[in-house]
Structure 1
Amino acid sequence: MDLIYTLSVLTLIAAAGSDPSYGLPGVSNARKLRFLNTSIGNVCLSFTPENVHRAVADSPWFIRGWTFQEGYVARRRLYFTESGILFVCNTAEEHEELCRHHGPANSILEGTLNSRALKVKNDGLEGIMRLLKQYMKRQLSYENDVLNAILGVLNYHHTRNPSIGTICGLPYQKSVADPDIICVNWAHERPATRRLGYPSWSPFGWIGPVNFSRIEDQFHPSKEDAASFSCHVRDGCADWNHLKTSQYLQITVHIHCLPIVRITRPNWPSGDSESVYTMLAIPYGDTKLNYDDPNFYTDILWDQAQPGHYDSDWVTCAVFHDHRFASHPLMILQDCGTHYERIGIAMSYGTYSMTTIRAAGLKELYSVASDIPTLYLGDGANSYMVRIRRDVEDFTWLQDGSKVIITLG
């Protein structure tokens, strides 16, 4: 589809109505929105249709998955709306003088236009992460179409920069001089729904919006992992015809079993009378967890509703073997027997606002009817609970010890 849209002289976009039978406003049928003028004494009042950019953004066309490539790859776009006609190419735009304007409105259409039309210079790996963030907000009638509906856009980018591609929807960048980059540091704002047929480590494996961390916070694999990852890539481009064989990644990690706890403290950090937070407990150094001692506690962003399949309150966490260990997340895994699947992420800074606290002198509420311990701040002299900025040095022990190669599906 990328060739069809890039070679077309003009792409007509019906951004009005809910189905193809609606027609093109102003062409096949009269526009329903018109100017209305009335006078009250010496005052003249006029109603004008909404901004044409907003009309496009509010249309069903804007939320459909399959229409993403129409606006993104096309060189010239002519939108038909009830508010007027909008023409956008990669260097300029024009519209009918029918609607009210409130400054630049091109940003409203982010996700339907490529970076040149949006006057954004970066069209590399950041551009891929940005467009996937927008695409994952779209709706599909058939969820298995998630790859095919955006394949034209991915091919469009790969043709222009062969070192950048995606595999099962996960962006990566291969480099000769610098370390490769695999964009595994992404998260859901709220629990999503598993999409069958796609791996859990890819955004395509889930139904719901995602957000990527910055490039500098993404995974820089070792040479061994990069070589393993290359087995899934043919000439720098994902082998789309063998999707099933591409669902599993073998990757080097450190595995840790860490406890989940609930922490309650009145008026912290929100204004609620008493807030309870589900957090991942991380010992201060490679020591046995004791709630009375200083420990770290960090937010968890679950990919799905908090699972109830665990026999205890402990979860399996993977720390990727990154030679920098700058700010990489703890990926929370589910053991599926033959492989692991991702079900959440912690310490994923740069995706969503995440809280990390350091606390000591915590006590357990034994009366709470839950398998997960609920902790509260004791009144001892050494009891404290403070929100902190993450210091990498406090967590380097997570990469100590033996490394293992796991299969991630």
Structure 2
Amino acid sequence: RFAALSYVWGTPAAKSVDDLSLRLPTPAPMLIEDAIKCTQSLRLRYLWIDRYCIDQTATKTKHLLIQNMDKIYQGATVTIVNAANEGADHGLPGISCLARTPQDFLYIKGRKLIRVPASRDAIRNSKWSMRGWTYQEGLLSRRRLVFTNQQIYFQCLEMHTCESITTLFSSRPRPVWVDNPLSDDLQAFPWGVATQPGDITERISTYVQRELSYESDSLNAFMGILNQFWKSDEPLYHLWGLPFHTKTPKTVPLETQLSNALLWTPTHDNDNNLLRKRQSFPSWSWVAWENLTGIYEDDVNLGLHGGNNVSVCILGLHSNPIKVDDYVRDMELHRNVHQFSPRLTLTGWLTQVWFSL
């Protein structure tokens, strides 16, 4: 049993070898000290902090852990989330010396009325909710203990509540005709990660609007969520982040489903902020593009599986062709998309089309 800490590292800077070591400095940063106190108060013995538990200099081990972040955060008994501030130099409000913002209250005819801040808004407007890596950390966790500047918020798979009130609200989806405005204002995280294959577009659309310090993290910071869709009851596969095996019958060959998935369309709201290609990623996957607001999968995909007119092969690191079925079997064993090159070969019929305007 262990706790995990989710926080914003802070502004990236040049790091020495000592900075990248796994040694916990003495004294430890205030956030780390407070997280340890919180872990001990919860009667847990271990605390996972990626900054100190992932050796940034051991490339192979680092990539292996990054490919399995879903196991880490889902395996944690609780995830301590610092949504109050950025960096490790500021502690958790209410744990040690960092004070919280006083709540407004008044008395009316002997009754005390307290203004309850909307925890959902406080969390969603925080720097923590703007970073790319923290998206999967919050979504994958079974229990989140979130520290804001006003109060503590808690949400697990069954219920959610905040420090100001004693009521427990269900975290599970409810029928549309059942209205509970207070619960809606409080619930910060959706229920479940991959409840159905169609959820992937919503997860991607939320993630792509977050910030990454390094463009090379575009896929890694979302890998835990992709793993969950892959392991769901209705498996949704991916190739370099591009999801496939969705909205199509199971009788359709996997290579046809992958070719259909290439028809995704980017959504982009701001004409002044043009799409920019990331290096090292294939242009046919959404992970290659900055300034997306989401992706759109048109139902025209459903009309393209009438025959085996297109042959798709994935290329290995040595340009060896790999069938899509073999790729899926290999990923089931190793979960390492980086052992495949970001290149595809498509073989099919071509035709010329003229437009008269």
Q: Return the TM-score normalized by structure 1.
A: 0.53
Counterpart of 1:150 in 2: which secondary structure? helix
- The answer as to whether partners of 1:78 and 1:86 remain within 8 angstroms in 2 is yes
Query: Which residue among 346, 349, 355 is the counterpart of 1:250?
Result: 346
Q: Is it true that 1:196 corresponds to 2:279 in the alignment? A: yes
Q: Is it true that 1:134 corresponds to 2:206 in the alignment? A: yes
Q: Is it true that 1:231 corresponds to 2:323 in the alignment? A: yes
Q: How many residues are paired up?
A: 250
- Find the counterpart in structure 2 of residue 177 from structure 1: 251
* Equivalent residues in 2 for 1:11-50, closer than 5 Å: 11-36=79-104, 48=115, 50=117
Structure 1 residue 256, shift from structure 2 partner: 4.9
- The answer as to whether partners of 1:85 and 1:95 remain within 8 angstroms in 2 is yes
Counterpart of 1:21 in 2: which secondary structure? coil
- The answer as to whether partners of 2:78 and 2:144 remain within 8 angstroms in 1 is yes
- Find the counterpart in structure 2 of residue 213 from structure 1: 296
Could you say which structure has the higher strand fraction?
A: 1
- Compute the RMSD of aligned alpha carbons: 3.5
- The answer as to whether partners of 1:163 and 1:236 remain within 8 angstroms in 2 is no
> 1:36/1:50 Cα in 2 relative to 1: closer, same or farther (>3 Å)?
closer
- Find the counterpart in structure 2 of residue 400 from structure 1: none
- Find the counterpart in structure 1 of residue 174 from structure 2: none
Report which of the two structures shows the higher radius of gyration computed on alpha carbons. Answer: 1
Equivalent-residue separation in structure 1 for 2:186 and 2:165 (angstroms)? 20
- Find the counterpart in structure 1 of residue 143 from structure 2: 76
Structure 1 residue 215, shift from structure 2 partner: 6.5
User: What CA deviation, in whole Å up to 9, does each residue of 1:124-144 have, x standing for no partner?
Assistant: 321222211111111110010
Unaligned 5+ segments in structure 1 are: 117-121, 259-282, 284-288, 292-409
Could you say which structure has the higher helix fraction?
A: 2
Query: Which residue among 91, 105, 115 is the counterpart of 2:192?
Result: 115
Equivalent-residue separation in structure 2 for 1:198 and 1:186 (angstroms)? 17
Equivalent-residue separation in structure 2 for 1:236 and 1:129 (angstroms)? 25
Q: What percentage of residue pairs aligned between the two structures are identical?
A: 22
Q: Return the TM-score normalized by structure 2.
A: 0.60
Equivalent-residue separation in structure 2 for 1:231 and 1:17 (angstroms)? 47
* Equivalent residues in 2 for 1:6-405, closer than 5 Å: 6-36=74-104, 48=115, 50-97=117-164, 103-105=182-184, 109=188, 113-115=190-192, 123-161=195-233, 163-173=235-245, 176-178=250-252, 180=254, 181-182=257-258, 183=261, 184-190=263-269, 191-214=274-297, 216-218=299-301, 220-221=304-305, 222-223=307-308, 225=310, 228=313, 231=323, 233-235=327-329, 237=331, 239-243=336-340, 245-250=341-346, 252=348, 254=350, 256=352, 283=355, 289=356, 291=357
- The answer as to whether partners of 1:188 and 1:208 remain within 8 angstroms in 2 is no
- The answer as to whether partners of 2:142 and 2:156 remain within 8 angstroms in 1 is yes
- The answer as to whether partners of 2:286 and 2:295 remain within 8 angstroms in 1 is no
User: What CA deviation, in whole Å up to 9, does each residue of 1:349-385 have, x standing for no partner?
Assistant: xxxxxxxxxxxxxxxxxxxxxxxxxxxxxxxxxxxxx
> 1:254/1:185 Cα in 2 relative to 1: closer, same or farther (>3 Å)?
farther
> 1:36/1:123 Cα in 2 relative to 1: closer, same or farther (>3 Å)?
closer
